[in-house]
């Protein structure tokens, strides 16, 4: 029985990482409590269309001001902005650690007239990370175009854009993810270097630089690698869309989309609702400053799922998931940090576990692993009910000093990874990967890297459409090959190399 890992988005950054910690902003202006959800805490804002739009706009602008400054890249602030079904006239600027989500059963239930946007802070959007938009419709009023200028860890899911979309603003952009979405007009990539689009529909796609990946996207650009930067796979072999929050007559619930085989296009079009529903009482609401490893593990032992509210969580013992179909969801991009060199999450070799919407930050004391799925030697078949990792972002360095041997280790079979950003990579035995892009920035020293990708020789042929790029840095730095001594090199003189 072989291990199966379908990597739907894997973008690896090599190079300089800032390790200057940024503390939470102090002296913040208090916001009206009427916008907070009583059980989800002060960092979750719940809006309905009957509220005063000017008051909502003030809240959004205040949060954006906190989350958009240069120092906010590693702030400890985390926010989720939730919108009940209805229409809103708003300009929603999305900064660091802001999650914007509609609470409809369909993206068409929440309509934002105006803008939902991510713009450049200066000459580029190369550090526009850690933000998300989900489950709503956008009717853009400026040039009929949504500007979503991002560079990694900034997913857009279940979004209906009645207009066009630019994947850039000013200057360079470097990476993003679009899934289960519909754009009526044109998607323009402009200077965007790399992008992953899955199970989405668009009027037209224009542009492409390093690598543009399409899986299950009707009318995607025709593949012609290496002449053009497009990798196109007609159908997604297997997927279950990310769980999402919705509001019904029972209050806030969690919708669990069903498993789909060989699918194409967004799953919600034509008002198709193919989700299972879990009431919020099936979840333990995890709160920063209140919960710890002991209370969280106690909830898991009682059969609860986990909903992490926005915040920073210090984890001194691994959170142990042993029950099949357990769901771990994050709101507002919560960060989980190990204290004692321990793993953060350990998942047993069981069916149907979901982890979504969290950041894992390596701690100062070295961990062997941050997230482990299955113990070594796991051999069960989970084909009928695979596990999923959605929007899981791992950082080694950045907000503070950190150290880990392997960021993510996957030992179980049938684990599907749907959008992940690792600053450090992992262990798998077999997998297929397409559109692998690796770039380097070595500022401090003339670093020489023998291989951008190293694999056992028998896995070389399972890695398709590879690209390496010497982006910037010390003039004597070099990556000598793309994979296992083959392809390349890249350096200051020859900056780009590709392989099929």
Show Cβ contacts of residue 409 under 8 Å, excluding neighbours closer than 6 positions: 369, 371, 372, 373, 426, 427
- Structural domains of the chain ordered from first start: 23-239 (2.160.20.10), 282-499 (no CATH)
**Residue whose pair of structure tokens reads 């079979």 in the numeric block:** 413
Q: How far apart are the first and last CA of the chain?
A: 28
Taking only Cα atoms into account, the Rg of the chain, rounded to an integer number of angstroms, comes to 21
Residues 6+ apart with CB under 8 A from 30: none
Sequence-distant (≥ 6) Cβ neighbours of residue 359 within 8 angstroms: 130, 330, 333, 334, 335, 336, 393, 394, 395
Burial of 151 (0-12, 13-18, 19+ CB in 10 A): buried
> How many beta carbons lie within 10 A of that of residue 243, not counting itself?
21
| Structure tokens belonging to residue 69 | 């400054």
Take residue 493 and report the two structure tokens written for it. 């003189």
Q: How many CB atoms lie within 10 A of CB 119?
A: 17
Quick one: which H or E segment has residue 483? Answer: none
Choose among 143, 135, 343, 338: nearest CA to 253: 135
**DSSP readout, 299-343?**
HHHTT-EEEEPSSEEEESS-EEE-STT-EEEESS--EEEESSS--
Pairing of strands 41-47, 36-37: antiparallel
Beta partners for 66? none
| Number of C-beta neighbours around residue 477 at 10 A | 22
Integer Cα distance of 373 and 420 in angstroms: 15
Strand segments (E) across 141-221: 145-147, 155-161, 164-166, 177-179, 182-188, 194-198, 201-206, 211-215
Collapsing DSSP to helix, strand or coil, 71 comes out as: helix
Q: What is the pTM of this model?
A: 0.86
Looking at residue 38, what DSSP letter applies?
A: T
Burial grade of 276 (CB within 10 A; 0-12, 13-18, 19 or more): exposed
Token code pair at residue 437: 């892009």
Please give the Cα distance from 11 to 18 (Å, whole number).
Answer: 18
| pLDDT tens over the chain, length 500 residues | 344 444 444 444 333 333 333 334 434 567 878 899 888 989 999 999 999 999 999 999 999 999 998 889 999 999 999 999 999 999 999 999 999 999 999 999 999 999 999 999 888 998 899 999 999 999 999 999 999 999 999 999 999 999 999 999 999 899 999 999 999 999 999 999 999 999 999 999 999 999 999 999 998 999 988 889 999 999 999 999 999 999 999 899 999 999 999 999 999 997 777 789 999 999 999 999 999 999 999 999 999 999 999 999 999 999 999 999 999 999 999 999 999 999 999 999 999 999 999 999 999 999 999 999 999 999 999 999 999 999 999 999 888 889 999 999 999 999 999 999 986 534 455 667 888 888 888 887 898 999 999 888 888 888 899 999 898 889 999 999 999 999 989 999 999 999 98
């Amino acid at each position: 029985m072989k291990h199966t890992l379908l990597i739907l988005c894997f973008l690896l950054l090599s190079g300089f990482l800032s390790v200057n910690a940024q503390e939470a902003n102090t002296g913040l202006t208090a916001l009206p409590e009427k916008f907070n959800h009583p059980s989800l805490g002060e960092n979750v804002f719940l809006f309905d269309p009957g509220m005063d739009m000017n008051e909502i706009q003030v809240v959004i602008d205040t949060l954006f001001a906190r989350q958009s400054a240069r120092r906010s890249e590693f702030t400890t602030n985390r926010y989720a902005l939730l919108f009940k079904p209805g229409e809103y006239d708003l300009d929603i600027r999305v900064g660091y650690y802001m999650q914007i989500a509609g609470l409809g059963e369909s993206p068409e239930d929440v309509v934002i007239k105006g803008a939902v946007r991510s713009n450049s802070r200066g000459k580029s959007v190369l550090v526009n990370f850690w933000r998300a938009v989900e489950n709503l419709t956008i009717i853009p009023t400026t040039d009929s175009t949504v500007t979503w200028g991002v560079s990694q860890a900034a997913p857009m899911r279940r979004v209906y854009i009645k207009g066009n979309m630019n994947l850039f603003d000013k200057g360079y952009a470097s990476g993003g993810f679009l899934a289960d979405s519909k754009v009526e007009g044109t998607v323009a990539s402009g200077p965007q270097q790399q992008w992953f689009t899955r199970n989405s529909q668009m009027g037209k796609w224009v542009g492409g630089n390093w690598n543009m990946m399409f899986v299950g996207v009707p009318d995607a650009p025709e593949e012609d690698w290496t002449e053009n930067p497009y990798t196109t796979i007609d159908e997604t072999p297997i997927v279950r869309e990310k769980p999402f929050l919705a509001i019904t007559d029972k209050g806030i619930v969690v919708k669990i989309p069903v498993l789909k085989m060989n699918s194409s296009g967004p799953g919600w079009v034509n008002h198709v609702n193919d989700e299972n529903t879990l009431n919020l009482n099936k979840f333990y609401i995890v709160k920063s400053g209140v919960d710890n490893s002991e209370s969280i593990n106690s909830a898991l032992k009682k059969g609860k799922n986990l909903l992490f509210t926005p915040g920073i969580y210090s984890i001194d013992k691994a959170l142990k998931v042993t029950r099949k179909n357990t769901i771990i969801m994050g709101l507002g991009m919560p960060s989980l940090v190990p204290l004692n060199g321990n793993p953060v999450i350990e998942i047993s070799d069981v069916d149907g576990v979901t982890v979504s919407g969290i950041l894992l930050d390596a701690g100062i004391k070295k961990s062997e692993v941050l997230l482990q799925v299955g113990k070594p030697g796991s051999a069960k078949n989970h084909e009928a009910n695979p596990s999923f990792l959605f929007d899981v972002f791992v950082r080694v360095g950045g907000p503070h000093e950190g150290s880990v041997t392997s960021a993510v280790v996957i030992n179980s079979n049938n684990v599907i990874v749907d959008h992940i950003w690792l600053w450090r990579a992992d262990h798998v035995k077999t997998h297929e990967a397409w559109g692998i892009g690796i770039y380097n920035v070595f500022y401090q020293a003339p670093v020489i890297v023998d291989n951008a990708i190293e694999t056992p020789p028998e896995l070389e042929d399972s890695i398709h459409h590879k690209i390496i790029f010497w982006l910037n840095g010390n003039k004597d730095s070099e990556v000598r090959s793309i994979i296992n001594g083959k392809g390349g090199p890249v350096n200051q003189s020859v900056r780009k190399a590709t392989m099929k």
